[in-house]
Structure 1
Amino acid sequence: MTDKNRLGKVYLFIVFVVLYAPIFYLMYYSFNSGGNMHGFEGFTLEWYSEVFHDTRLIIIVINTLVIALLSSAIATIIGIVGALAIDRIRRKRVKNTILSLNNVLIVSPDVIIGASFLILFTIAGIRLGFASVLLSHIAFSVPIAVLMILPRLQEMSPTLVDAARDLGASRRDVLMKVILPFISPAILSGFFMALTYSLDDFAVTFFVTGSGYSTLSVEIYSRARAGVSLSINALSTLIFLLTVILVVGYYLVSRSSMRNRKKERAAELGVPE
């Protein structure tokens, strides 16, 4: 191993330590029976029990999951339609312009997006609550879904569609039996990515949520401002583990997609696997 490779691995290790040390510190004290983060006195699950016995918090968890699942599903459907429309554009300048507009919500600061949605909902007379949070999450999830689906769609050979039409397939059959099955791994990837973004979002949700309605990220922020409680640690640990599960699921879907692509290319070239 060269000195350059060794130095790169050491640097990468330091970066991971800096990123994950606070998270593991928080998780470690979520099991502290002392009730503070100044010294570990003993192991306990009291704070996790408190989280699961908090009726209001359970309702907020349900709200968060409903928003995340519903917004991700709707955004993925819109993303499929958007990717299909963009893929059919033949003028390169127009396609690049639309792709740039699609990426605006991804590269823009969350504070700006949240404030913009707040102003929009206020002008439109939309009451802040479930509807405003759902619409906001759909809006910033759609570009993610499009970016996940479009590359897979562009990899599809036009001969597949032509062959299906030559065999008498209607447009609906081509879409349902040829295009959608081919891009299904990308659809799942887009859904998981949108779901992860929705569950983790705070800045945008903070602007558009109203009184009487909250999500986990906003609730954790509100409780943290009220004072240090290890129930926040327990809740944050559960959210982190859920996020890890979603990321692992996304990785497995992406890995399966790559394997399928290799098999398809091998089949096209007549090369044994």
Structure 2
Amino acid sequence: MNNSTGSRTLSRIYLGIVMVILYAPIFYLMYYSFNSGGHMRNFEGFTLQYYKEVFQDTRLIIIVINTVVLALLSSAIATILGFSGALAIVSVRRSRTRNTLLSLNNVLIVSPDVIIGASFLVLFTMVGIKLGFMSVLLSHIAFSIPITVLMILPKLQEMPSTLVDAARDLGASGRQVLTKVILPFTRQGIFAGFFMALTYSLDDFAVTFFVTGSGYSTLSVEIYSRARQGISLSINALSTMIFLFTIILVAIYYFLSLKSNTQNRSFRTEVPK
């Protein structure tokens, strides 16, 4: 009993240290975004000046809108394609072929972003696609699809095959099976895939840096460009708002997951044994 209590205590201490290492720089950045002194050494007074500068910067507002539109569009398309890919993997009967497809999917996730970005740059140059919104969109869709597949695939594997068989025996068409059985059961995985793809698209820098053109930019590339020019607390303010927006996304995903779990439990209880 004492060993178990000690292990739990050490686990909590370790978790606390990890959380401090991860979040201390973020809170440090957020704290000095309100510093009227204009530096990150001593806090001289509270001000919202740098937040006003962010909202008064027309170029930055346009880049934020571009980034959000890009993330939503690429995440939606990647989720649709990832759902189709997960269905295709599940439908493969031979386990060896299925594992091969899944391994090929996973390779894209663990591949370095620099390699992926450079590969897309070479590809777009060869094909003749002009660097800009379309090149960034295609890149974000491509690296988001493997993530959505991994989020959706476990839910498809959990779904009993008898549900689909029962629906077909009752006369359901292929479309009805998809919309009335498969989609409701995998809703949580679909939400998870969409929000993961959304956060990856919002945060991505390495791939976007390679494929963005001179007339188009995303928030991560813009922050990097401004940070190279020197410390500006407007970057702190912008980063603080992005962090809070991410927290809101996580909260939305959490509540949607709770709702989806409740619906899945009721869905299972309604299925006859």
Question: The TM-score by the shorter chain falls in which range?
Answer: over 0.9
- Give the corresponding residue for 1:254: 257
Q: CA deviation at 1:263?
A: 4.1
8 Å CA contact retained: 2:78, 2:144: yes
Structure-1 separation of matches of 2:131 and 2:257? 36
Over aligned residues, Cα RMSD in angstroms?
1.6
Unmatched tracts of structure 2, length 5 or more: none
Amino acid of the residue matched to residue 191 of structure 1?
Answer: F
Structure-2 separation of matches of 1:53 and 1:165? 58
Structure-2 separation of matches of 1:8 and 1:156? 34
- Give the corresponding residue for 1:196: 199
Q: CA deviation at 1:269?
A: 8.4
Which whole-Å deviations, capped at 9, do the CAs of 1:28-49 have from their partners, x for residues lacking one? 0000111111111100000000
Q: CA deviation at 1:182?
A: 1.9
- Give the corresponding residue for 1:16: 19
Structure-1 separation of matches of 2:37 and 2:272? 65
Structure-1 separation of matches of 2:62 and 2:147? 28
Q: CA deviation at 1:156?
A: 1.4
Amino acid of the residue matched to residue 7 of structure 2?
Answer: K
8 Å CA contact retained: 1:64, 1:216: yes
Amino acid of the residue matched to residue 132 of structure 2?
Answer: G
Match for residue 175 of structure 2 among 167, 172, 176: 172
Structure-1 separation of matches of 2:59 and 2:46? 26
Moved more, 66-75 or 156-165: 156-165
Structure-1 separation of matches of 2:241 and 2:225? 17
8 Å CA contact retained: 1:202, 1:217: yes
Matches for 1:117-196 after TM superposition, within 5 Å: 117-196=120-199
TM-score between the two structures when normalised by the length of structure 2: 0.94
Amino acid of the residue matched to residue 209 of structure 2?
Answer: F
Amino acid of the residue matched to residue 101 of structure 1?
Answer: L
- Give the corresponding residue for 1:46: 49
- Check if 1:230 corresponds to 2:260: no
Q: CA deviation at 1:148?
A: 1.0
Which whole-Å deviations, capped at 9, do the CAs of 1:5-57 have from their partners, x for residues lacking one? 21221121111111111110000000011111111110000000000010000
Q: CA deviation at 1:111?
A: 1.2
- Give the corresponding residue for 1:99: 102
Structure-1 separation of matches of 2:173 and 2:263? 26
Q: CA deviation at 1:177?
A: 1.9
TM-score between the two structures when normalised by the length of structure 1: 0.94
Using the aligned pairs only, state the percent identity.
Answer: 73
Length, aligned pairs only: 270
Q: CA deviation at 1:133?
A: 0.5
8 Å CA contact retained: 2:131, 2:212: yes
Unmatched tracts of structure 1, length 5 or more: none
Matches for 1:83-98 after TM superposition, within 5 Å: 83-98=86-101
Structure-1 separation of matches of 2:266 and 2:252? 21
8 Å CA contact retained: 1:193, 1:250: no
8 Å CA contact retained: 1:189, 1:253: no
- Give the corresponding residue for 2:208: 205
Structure-2 separation of matches of 1:32 and 1:86? 53
8 Å CA contact retained: 2:54, 2:237: yes
Q: CA deviation at 1:149?
A: 1.0
Match for residue 239 of structure 1 among 233, 239, 242: 242
8 Å CA contact retained: 1:33, 1:41: yes
- Give the corresponding residue for 1:62: 65
Which whole-Å deviations, capped at 9, do the CAs of 1:42-96 have from their partners, x for residues lacking one? 0000000000010000000010011100000000110111111111100000000
8 Å CA contact retained: 1:69, 1:195: yes
SS in 1 for 2:186: helix
Which whole-Å deviations, capped at 9, do the CAs of 1:181-221 have from their partners, x for residues lacking one? 22122211211111111111111111111101100000000
Which whole-Å deviations, capped at 9, do the CAs of 1:111-143 have from their partners, x for residues lacking one? 111111111111111111101100000001111
- Give the corresponding residue for 2:112: 109
